[in-house]
């Protein structure tokens, strides 16, 4: 995909047409990259049930934004059309949306159920329990940006994704997913920023002038922060 964009810039004959297309493309990339929770996924602890090839669920999560349109690696279901993915994060996340790329075929998943902070689910319990949210998916080659109900996902430490069925209506046993990512805000686990804030506050001048900028999200914790001297 990247060399395609490069060709657009180097072409002379269709410059205007292609340049507009490239401009739209870049507008799409920037906001996604700003809130992409890529480095916050604990890849080593991801677990996918009913994957045809071991660790293929992890492999699609490890695709970068630049690799989102690549067909391989691909997650395929094995015994039937259902997939169950457990995705833990390295801290607490305010989840905004899920990015997903499938296909226009019957192997594209149709229904995605989301469970919050559960590491004990199997297909039986995922089928019986009420999910935090159910998403109806599209049959498309485009990357779908699927918003979640943010109020429900403000304290996400892990997410379990249950791909319940596909567009084959029972005639297609293989469900395929080629790209999966998450957008949102990342918060470190509570102990880490508190310790860091106490340490940073040891230099009063630094705390006053640069504290807010350097601490970012944690600065709100340090705001009432004369407590350090108590």
Separation of alpha carbons 101 and 112, rounded Å: 13
Burial string for 144-170 (b: 16+ CB within 10 Å, else e) reads bebebeeeebeebebbbbbbbbbbbee
CA-CA distances (angstroms) from residue 4 to 23, 123, 151, 180, 190? 13, 41, 39, 23, 44
Mutual angle of helices 15-34 and 2-10, in 10-degree steps: 140
Q: What is the pLDDT along the chain (230 residues), one digit of tens a residue?
A: 333 433 333 334 444 444 444 333 434 455 456 689 999 999 999 999 999 999 999 999 999 999 999 999 999 999 999 999 999 999 999 999 999 999 999 999 999 999 999 999 999 999 999 999 999 999 999 999 999 999 999 999 999 999 999 999 989 999 999 999 999 998 866 555 444 444 555 555 554 444 444 434 444 444 444 444 44
Q: Decide: 187 and 94 in contact? Cβ < 8 Å.
A: yes
Q: What is the DSSP letter of 92?
A: E
Q: pLDDT value at position 187?
A: 81
Q: pLDDT value at position 35?
A: 84
Separation of alpha carbons 216 and 74, rounded Å: 36
Q: pLDDT value at position 104?
A: 96
Angle at 166 between CA 164 and CA 169, to 5 degrees: 110
Separation of alpha carbons 118 and 107, rounded Å: 27
Separation of alpha carbons 3 and 76, rounded Å: 28
Separation of alpha carbons 140 and 105, rounded Å: 8
Separation of alpha carbons 81 and 211, rounded Å: 51
Separation of alpha carbons 129 and 206, rounded Å: 50
Q: pLDDT value at position 209?
A: 45
Separation of alpha carbons 127 and 84, rounded Å: 11
């Amino acid at each position: 995909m990247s060399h395609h964009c490069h060709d657009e810039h180097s072409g002379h004959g269709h410059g205007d047409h292609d340049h507009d297309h490239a401009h739209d493309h870049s507008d799409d990339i920037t906001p996604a990259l700003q809130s992409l929770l890529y480095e916050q996924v604990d890849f080593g602890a991801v677990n996918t049930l009913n994957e045809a090839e071991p660790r293929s669920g992890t492999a699609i999560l490890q695709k970068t934004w630049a690799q989102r349109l690549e067909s391989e690696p691909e997650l395929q279901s094995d015994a039937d059309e259902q997939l169950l993915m457990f995705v833990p994060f390295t801290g607490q996340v305010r989840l905004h949306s899920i990015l997903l790329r499938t296909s226009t075929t019957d192997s594209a998943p149709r229904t995605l159920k989301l469970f919050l902070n559960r590491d004990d689910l199997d297909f039986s319990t995922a089928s019986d329990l009420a999910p935090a949210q159910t998403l109806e998916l599209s049959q498309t080659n485009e990357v779908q940006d699927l918003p979640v109900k943010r109020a429900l996902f403000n304290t996400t430490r892990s997410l379990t994704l249950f791909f319940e069925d596909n567009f084959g209506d029972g005639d297609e046993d293989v469900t395929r997913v080629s790209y999966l990512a998450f957008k949102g805000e990342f918060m470190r686990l509570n102990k880490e920023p508190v310790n860091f804030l106490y340490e940073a506050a040891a230099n009063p001048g630094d705390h006053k002038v640069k504290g807010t900028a350097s601490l970012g999200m944690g600065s709100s914790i340090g705001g009432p922060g004369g407590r350090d001297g108590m």
